[in-house]
Amino acid sequence: MISYKEKIAEILAPQIEGLEKDEIMAMVETPADSKMGDYAFPCFKLAKILRKAPPLIAKSIAEGIAENAVFEKVESVNAYVNMFVSKADLAKAVVSEAVSKGADYGRSDIGAGRKVIVEYSSPNIAKPFHIGHIRSTVIGNSIYKLYDFLGYDVVRINHLGDYGTQFGKMICAYRRWGNKEDVIREPIKTLLSYYTKFHEEAEKDPSLEDEARAIFTKLEHGEPEETQLWQWFRDESLKEFNRVYDMLGITFDSYNGESFYSDRMPRFVNELREKGIMEEDNGANIVRLDEYNLPPALITKSDGSTLYITRDIAAAVYRKETYDFYKNIYVVASQQNLHFQQWIQIVEMLGYDWARSCVHIPFGLVSLEDGVMSTREGRVVFLEDVLNRAVEQTRQIIKEKNVNTENIEQTAKDVGIGAVIFNELSNYRIKDYVFSWDKVLNFEGETGPYVQYTHARACSILRNAGEDVVRKAHEEFDARYITGESAHSLIKLIYELPDVILEASEKYEPSIVTRHIVDIAQSFNKFYHDEHILVDNEDEKIAKVALVLAARNAIRNGLGLLGMNAPKKM
C-alpha cells in the first residue's frame, strides 16, 4: 500500500532546499483535528535555512504543490502546510488491501530470518496462579503475537519458578502437616495452605527455617526422596496452570524453569572467578558494579548456594547458544528492574557482545482493594476464579438479553475472558492498578465486549448483504461512494493499523493496539449510524459493504493480537 508520508516527502522535496527526503518525511505530521488536513508539514525548521518567516514559507510550498493529483486541497495556515489527500484514492487503496489480505491485513515480513524469545507468565510452582500473574501472562502473549505477526520466528518460554528455598519449606510443611489425597484433589490451594502454615509455625519455631534450608540443599544435590516430591509438586501445579492457559488460549514452546539451569551455573561462577570479575565478601561471592552506578550483585551466598542472578546468566547464555536469538525479551514486573540491570551488565562484562539484546519489559503491579497480595498470608485472588466468574456473568447477560448466538457457552467464554484480557491491556503496562471485580466485569464503555460487539455487528451486516454482494465487494467497488466524512475517518484509522502494530511491537506496548481498535470500533459505529449501508443502488451498496469488510478484518486482526476471539454473533 502507498505510504502517504513517503509520497508527500517526494512531492515536497523539490520545494525545499537543504533537507533530504527522509528528513522531510520525519517532519510530516498527522493532525489531531481532521479539519487541519490529513497531513501537515510545519515550516519552523526551514526559517533558518531559507531565511524567511515560516508563514511565508508555508504559503509558497502550498502554492507549489496545490495542483498535485494526490491532494484534494492544500492550504497554508500560519506556519503549516495542511494537505487533504484524495478521499477516493485513499479509500480505494486502503479498503482494497484490507479486504484482499483479510486475516493478513497488517502483517509484514520485517522480522523474517530473525529469532525472538519472549519469556512470560512464569508462575511459581506449588503457589497460586493469581490475578497478579495476569499481567506478565497476557502482556507477554500479546508481545509474542505482535512479533509473530511481523514475521519474526518467536519462541515462547514459560520460565517456571521451580527452584529455590521455598521448595525446602514446601516439602518440610508437607511432611509435617500434609497428606497425598488433599494435594491430588486440590493441588495449589492445598500446597498454599501448607506454605502459609509453615510461615505461621516458623514465627513460633525459627528452627523450621534451618530444616527447610537443609531440605533444599538435599534437593540441590539430587537426593531421590526430595527430588521425587519436588517433581510431583511441579507436575500437579502444571496441571492447574494449564487449565488457566487453556482458558486464555495460551501455549508455550518451552517450560524450562529455574531448575533446568541448576547444573549449568557452575560454569559461569568459574568464569566470573577466572576473569577476575567476582570477589569474595564475608564468605559470599559478589560482583561490584560501582562504575555502572549499580549496587554489588550477589552471585553465591556464604553457604555456596546460587541465586536468581546466577540462574538468569546461565539461562541467557543457554538461549543464545541454543536459539541464536536476535532479541531475548523478558516480561517481568518492574520490581525486578535492578535485578535485570545487574545481570545484563554482568553478561556484558563477561564479554558476551549480545548482552544488550536481552530486553527487560517491566510492568506495574496489581494490588487488592484491601492491600497488597501476599502468598505467605494466603491473601490472593485466583486467576482461574476471575476468568470463571467473568464467563458466568457473561452467560447470565446473554440469557437475560436473549443475545443472538448459536453457542452460548463459546460466546460467554469469548466475551467474558476477552473482557478480562482487554481490561488488562487497556492501560500502559507500566501503570500500577488496584484489582476491582466491578471494573473487570464492567462491559459498558470502551471495553472488550464493546469492540467484540462491533465486530459482530459488521458480520451481521455482511450476512444481510448476501454472499453475492460480499463476493462483488471482494472483486471491485467504486470508491467514490465511501468518501463521506464518517467513511473517510474510518478508512484513515484502518490505514493506520499496520503502523500501529509496528509501533506497539517497537515499544512493547499492546495498549497501543487496544486503544486503536477502540477508535476503529467507534468510527465504524458512527459510519453505521450516519450512512445507510444496504441501499438500493447496487454500486453504492457494494462499496459500503467493502468498507464493512475492511473494518471487520481490522477489528478481528487487532483483537487477535491481544489474544482475544472475535465472535460473529452477539
Which residues are catalytically annotated? 127, 130, 133
- Give the torsion sign (CA, 291, 292, 297, 299): negative
Q: Residue 36 carries which DSSP code?
A: G
Q: Residue 132 carries which DSSP code?
A: G
CA distance 504 to 558: 11
* DSSP secondary structure letters along 234-284: HHHHHHHHHHHHHHHT---SB---GGGGTTTHHHHHHHHHHTT-EEEETTE
The number of angstroms, rounded, from the C-alpha of 62 to the middle of its chain's C-alpha atoms is: 41
CA distance 533 to 545: 7
446 burial class (0-12, 13-18, 19+ CB within 10 angstroms)?
middle
50 and 1 in contact (C-beta within 8 Å)? no
Q: Residue 71 carries which DSSP code?
A: E
Q: What is the b/e burial string over 40-76, where b = at least 16 CB atoms within 10 angstroms of the residue's CB?
A: bbbbebbeeebeeebeebbbbbbebbeeeebbbebbb
Q: Which residues contact 71 (CB under 8 A, 6 or more apart)?
A: 65, 83, 84, 85, 86
CA distance 505 to 155: 16
CA distance 550 to 568: 15
CA distance 344 to 328: 11
CA distance 333 to 4: 39
Nearest partner of 512 among 121, 102, 116, 106, judged by Cα: 106
DSSP-based three-state secondary structure for 44: coil
What residues are paired with 84 via a beta bridge? 73
Per DSSP bridges, beta strands 80-85 and 71-77 are antiparallel
